[in-house]
Amino acid sequence: MNPATTALILIDMQKETNYELPELDGILAKTKTLADECRAQGIPVIYTRQINRADQIGLSKGEPITSDNKPYYYNDDSDAVEIFDEIAPKSGEIVIDKYRWSAFFETSLDLMLRGQGITDVIMAGFVTDGCLMTSTYDAYFRDYQVHMVHDLTATTSQGAHMAAHLMMGSWIYNITFYRAVEMGRYLRGESYQSFAPAGPDSLQFESDHLAQVFHETIGQNT
């Protein structure tokens, strides 16, 4: 991974209060550390924001609506759409607003990456089984090399979180998984640990041993 052709993409790390994500404070602290390390290495930090218009124009079919006829999630008439203060973008950093889960769907993200000569993407953000996963698949479909910082991701249940990572590991053929601290070591040219799946469909699991498969593979260094 060459810093000159790499970008950190932070998916939807927003103030949305209708999700109860585990270990949020710790994730934000580690995200700030990694983002600062990327900046020190000259790696651009790119943010995405999920947006649902308060007037409901362009909402996804079936998007939840509140009793006062507003979007339940990511209402752009509130601060729910803003990036957490702890990791707020620096002046001049790119923020991509999107109206569907994937950060690549009808946005300028691919254009912004290719305009900077980016070939490798470091992925992190929320939620693992939704916007993070769909964005990561779409990065792969556009031929980016994928580096997943799995302890900077979260969703509303640990089962869904682990299953999403295992599915990405099985079907995104060029993905490598890291913890944030290991990614920092990698960027500094130090010895680091990571996990790359052996091949397609190599992370098979059943409901009764999902956690075991996850911790023996992707989560083995946590």
Burial 175-196 (b: 16+ CB within 10 A, else e): bbbbbbbbbbbbbeeeebebbe
Q: pLDDT grade, residue 17 (50/70/90)?
A: confident
pLDDT over 80 (residue 86) = yes
So what's the pLDDT on residue 221?
59
Q: pLDDT grade, residue 208 (50/70/90)?
A: confident
Q: pLDDT grade, residue 207 (50/70/90)?
A: confident
Distance CA 21, CA 95 (A): 22
Q: pLDDT grade, residue 55 (50/70/90)?
A: very high
Q: pLDDT grade, residue 180 (50/70/90)?
A: very high
pLDDT over 70 (residue 222) = no
| Domains of the chain and any CATH numbers | 3-216 (3.40.50.850)
What's the mean per-residue pLDDT of the chain?
95
Q: pLDDT grade, residue 18 (50/70/90)?
A: confident
| 12: helix, strand or coil | coil
